[in-house]
Structure 1
Amino acid sequence: MKQAYLILLVIFLFALIFHLLPIFYSDISFNYDTAASWLEVRDMVMLTKPRLVGGEGGIKGIFFGPTWHYILAGLFFVFNGDPRAGALASALINLSCIPLAWLIGKQINQLTGILAAFFFALAPIMIGSSSYQFVVNAFPFINLVALWLLNYQNKKWTLMALAFWASLSFHFEPVVAIGFNLAIFGLMFKSIKKLAWKNKLSLVLIWLLPFGPQLIFDLRHDWLQTRAIIKFIQERGQGLGGSLPFFTRLINRPYLLINHFSETVTANHIWLSTLLLGLMIFGLKAIFIKGSLKQKQLAKQSLTLLSIPLLYYIFIFSPGIKPWYYTSFPAVYGIVFALTLTWWLKQKNLKYFAWLALSGFCLTGIWASAYLPKLKQGFPSTDPSSLKNQLAVIDWIYQDSAGQDFVVYTYSPAIYDYPWQYLFWWQAEKKQLPLPKDFSYQPKTYDYVANKLAYVPPPETSSRFITYLIFEPHDPSRETSYTPEDFMQPYVDLQLIASKNFNSRIRVEKRL
């Protein structure tokens, strides 16, 4: 037992390095959606404005539940608005999967627990998502908690907890949550049937509880979300890009699942994906024939959490699949990985295949993150949405202005410059710097940022102010026709004094 704890500790310490170092070096994405969330969270904390809903989802008029925003608000308060705290939220959730997976696996035996922890420590998807603030990243953790609770579903309190947990998942991504709820209630069906009617009613009420804030929001906003849901159903998925024919979905969804497995578990190494898939499929077959009751039960529960959502995507959900709709599946990959490799490692003549797969998986996790060369160079990045690159631009502007008053206007393909709206304010607060006299995507425009004037003085413009123009790389693939030339119209008469090109392909012009 002590040896198992020691191995788990070593795995966790290695995971801390892989999951947290990019955050320490600010090598995280701070894009349009991330920044929009932080602007909302700023209002929650600084202006004491509680929220009933989270951000707007892919369907116009339908919002996530507020849980993720309250998690971010807590971290905003603790870390004084540091935008890295959003990625830290993802990292902490992912790191929590390691001991949780161990707890689930060790119910079979210590080796299964260690292998499960090993998977969640090093899987490319877990490492990659730890440096990216995204509400859907919580789903592997959500699935693992459900798997742990399912082991105790003979108890009344566990069924109530599972009902609440299933409902709470709608706060993180409704599309994914539907498949998850279908799977959970399918697994709970026999246990629910045994409940007295009074307890069944309690379970329904507990399931409805997390929808309370959104219901209050709807009551206050003329049933906005309800009308949006009805419209979405009537339009047959047009709000998510239209519907796919059934036979297309029948081929497309499983194909995307195999691709997702390859990308998230083996970083698209075909030989390793093929080996692991083969070991997992034949290992599962052996477990269902020769395995213990506990092994069969855990395998069945895990596969249900994958197969029911997949069937939902094939038979019910007709729009195209977004990449994050499969985000809950790595929880299943990890548990099946641990179950089947445990079985293979106990086969005298076949265990070498398992060792080969384990070695390949370990090297892939380390190689995919490329930590050693990155660490030597301080985690360089050429991504224009990387926080460290955005902060480098702001630092240069402040240094170049040398204490003179200046204004900043930003060209972004998304039009609204939410990352810069948040970062200029945060840097000024953190370093006690004067704010730009105006900063926006065009002069004297601020109403697209709610409550902006609660944090900054009204915008000023003057010919004596230095004008800095930030140009993010133009993205011709975007639907908007907004170009750098359109953005430049108000500034064509200003004289170009200097220009600075950054490695991130961001360009800054200084004009007077």
Structure 2
Amino acid sequence: MKKFASDVYGKIRKEVFTHPLIYILLCAILDLWHNHKPFLIGPITGLKGIFLGPFYYYLIAPFYLIGRGNPAYPAVFLSFTTVMAIFMLYVLGTKMHSRITGLIAATIAAFSYNIFTLSRWLSNPTPMLLLSTLLFWFLWEITIGEKKKIYLFWVLAVLTIGVSLHFESASAVFYIPLFFVFSIWQRKKLPPFKYILIAGMFFLATLAPQILFNFRHDNLLFKNFLDLLLGEKAFRGITKFILEERAKYFWGVYSGKIFLGTGVLITTLATISASMLFGYLPKFKKHLILFAIFFITPIVGYTLFQGNYGNIYDYYTIGYFMPLILFFALGMGELTKHWGGFIIVALYFYYFANLNLVPIKNYLTATVATRPIAIEDQLQAVNWVYDDAQKYSQKFNVDVYVPPVIPHSYDYLFLWQGTLRQAQSCKPTLCGLVKTENLPVLYTLFEADPPNPQRLQAWLERQKGIGEVLEESKFGQITVQRRKRL
């Protein structure tokens, strides 16, 4: 078991592909553990001045502590939440239809290249794969259960919505109108006032940190939210262009999670799957209404929402990926009960495997030259700087170029590795790294930037006027140089 755990850690360490914004949160967690600074807000959203709640920070903080600051540990945990989501998807598919449906849903989720890569994303949206599956499960239990036996599921559904707002608000914000529509549909099963009050208190508790932060900072969040709604007019009328663009987006999301693109065959399979449900409407009436509420509500919301300069990204809908897979699997599961259905399902999985298994294999077997920059490369570069500086017992400065010119990742990595070295042998100066004054020794570190080589070239030209290169080393797509300041 120890060897297995070590192998898993080693693999993840090479696979943790980093994004600069990830390290902002790691610096915040560093403040929590070492400087005892709790936080009331979490990561920033894609909307100007709007922040998520802090639960994501607190969720991964213990794994940061266990790993002594190593991002691979929270990355492993976040991947495990996706494994849990896949298992829950199997159970939910079995409950809603049959074991074969559960197996189809779990297999698609486990081997979809897009879900596979999302599960390895060290970022706040990742737990939404699990939370969305749980929310859909709770709503299904309410749909099929007897009134007196489902009170707890109402409370759990509201709590899940509140917690989800801490991870990816672009997905979770539409859980609120979705739940309102669902409550109207299931109004005869609404719980007694006591349970409604408990659910409301839980929901407010999930918002409490942001509310407190807002009041402590002169209504900052509230003002930014109002500016988004009124100043930027985030919700506007629908035009033909918007309808066409959103239709392409939603179809791309649906087909992309289950397949890896669009085409006639994909459209045909999706139509066959849906027709198996609509063709047996009395049998699947409750299923279809629940799926309709769960999907149509955000579709309407995203179509009306035109803030953020009209941009809408794939991960905005991460809170609907797993239910989308379940919807398709339900139709495929019903198809297996009919003559010739197994042949169609087998053909689907043959096509699915050809599209997804090759990219997954390439991902897992990628070399340093062919993979994105990983934390392993970054750590080698950072430790080369510290080792080289210690060799000459000298203080130094560092200047970093990271596409798109955001150095947060190395701010954290130098802080983390310097802190570890400082605890072991160095004096309390982060082993020579100085940020408050210009020193004769300057280390420049830069990552390859194929999309914008002109930016990197301009940065290197500027460095020529600052320092002369004395020594250089490369780690994958990262170059480190020791310079003598001019």
**Displacement of 1:217 after TM fit?**
0.8
Decide which of 155, 165, 168 is 1:160's aligned counterpart. 155
**Displacement of 1:327 after TM fit?**
1.4
Distance in 2 between residues matched to 1:368 and 1:21, nearest whole Å: 22
**Displacement of 1:475 after TM fit?**
7.3
**Displacement of 1:147 after TM fit?**
1.7
Decide which of 421, 424, 438 is 2:433's aligned counterpart. 438
TM-score by length of 1: 0.81
**Displacement of 1:43 after TM fit?**
0.8
Structure 1: unaligned runs, 5 residues or longer: 1-15, 445-458
In structure 2, the partner of 1:28 is: 16
Q: How does 1:344-423 map to 2 (within 5 A)?
A: 344-370=335-361, 374-375=364-365, 379-382=367-370, 385-401=373-389, 403-404=391-392, 405=394, 406-423=396-413
In structure 1, the partner of 2:109 is: 120
Structure 2: unaligned runs, 5 residues or longer: none
SS of the aligned residue for 1:54 comes to coil
Contact (CA 8 Å) 2:386, 2:431: kept in 1 or not? no
SS of the aligned residue for 1:69 comes to helix
Q: How does 1:451-490 map to 2 (within 5 A)?
A: 459=436, 461-463=438-440, 465=441, 467-474=442-449, 485=458, 489=462
In structure 1, the partner of 2:324 is: 333
In structure 2, the partner of 1:507 is: 479
Distance in 1 between residues matched to 2:451 and 2:329, nearest whole Å: 44
In structure 2, the partner of 1:210 is: 206
SS of the aligned residue for 2:397 comes to strand
Q: AA paired with 1:157?
A: L
Contact (CA 8 Å) 2:82, 2:127: kept in 1 or not? yes
Tell whether 2:104 aligns with 1:101.
Answer: no
SS of the aligned residue for 2:141 comes to coil
**Displacement of 1:280 after TM fit?**
2.1
Q: AA paired with 1:497?
A: L
Distance in 1 between residues matched to 2:183 and 2:108, nearest whole Å: 27
Distance 1:197-1:48 versus aligned 2 partners, 3 A rule: same
In structure 2, the partner of 1:227 is: 223
Tell whether 2:259 aligns with 1:274.
Answer: no
In structure 1, the partner of 2:299 is: 310
In structure 2, the partner of 1:452 is: none
Tell whether 2:120 aligns with 1:131.
Answer: yes
In structure 2, the partner of 1:297 is: 286
Tell whether 2:241 aligns with 1:248.
Answer: yes
In structure 2, the partner of 1:236 is: 232
Cα distance per residue 1:382-438 (max 9 Å; x no partner): 456421221232244345556222432212344442111211232344564754523
Contact (CA 8 Å) 2:260, 2:355: kept in 1 or not? yes
**Displacement of 1:59 after TM fit?**
2.3
In structure 2, the partner of 1:173 is: 168
Distance 1:484-1:383 versus aligned 2 partners, 3 A rule: farther
Cα distance per residue 1:151-173 (max 9 Å; x no partner): 33232221122112112221122
Distance 1:78-1:303 versus aligned 2 partners, 3 A rule: farther
In structure 2, the partner of 1:151 is: 140
In structure 2, the partner of 1:53 is: 41
Distance 1:283-1:488 versus aligned 2 partners, 3 A rule: same
**Displacement of 1:185 after TM fit?**
2.6
In structure 2, the partner of 1:13 is: none
SS of the aligned residue for 1:347 comes to coil
Q: AA paired with 1:219?
A: F
Cα distance per residue 1:182-202 (max 9 Å; x no partner): 222322324446444554444
Q: Report % sequence identity.
A: 19
Decide which of 376, 396, 417 is 1:427's aligned counterpart. 417
Distance 1:397-1:207 versus aligned 2 partners, 3 A rule: closer
SS of the aligned residue for 2:174 comes to helix
Distance in 1 between residues matched to 2:294 and 2:154, nearest whole Å: 16
SS of the aligned residue for 2:121 comes to coil
Distance 1:25-1:84 versus aligned 2 partners, 3 A rule: closer
Distance in 2 between residues matched to 1:328 and 1:57, nearest whole Å: 15
> How many equivalent residue pairs?
463
Q: AA paired with 1:232?
A: L
Q: AA paired with 2:200?
A: V
Q: AA paired with 2:178?
A: A
SS of the aligned residue for 2:348 comes to helix
SS of the aligned residue for 1:171 comes to coil
In structure 2, the partner of 1:263 is: 256
**Displacement of 1:100 after TM fit?**
0.6
Contact (CA 8 Å) 1:90, 1:129: kept in 2 or not? no
Distance in 1 between residues matched to 2:289 and 2:270, nearest whole Å: 17
Distance in 2 between residues matched to 1:275 and 1:191, nearest whole Å: 33
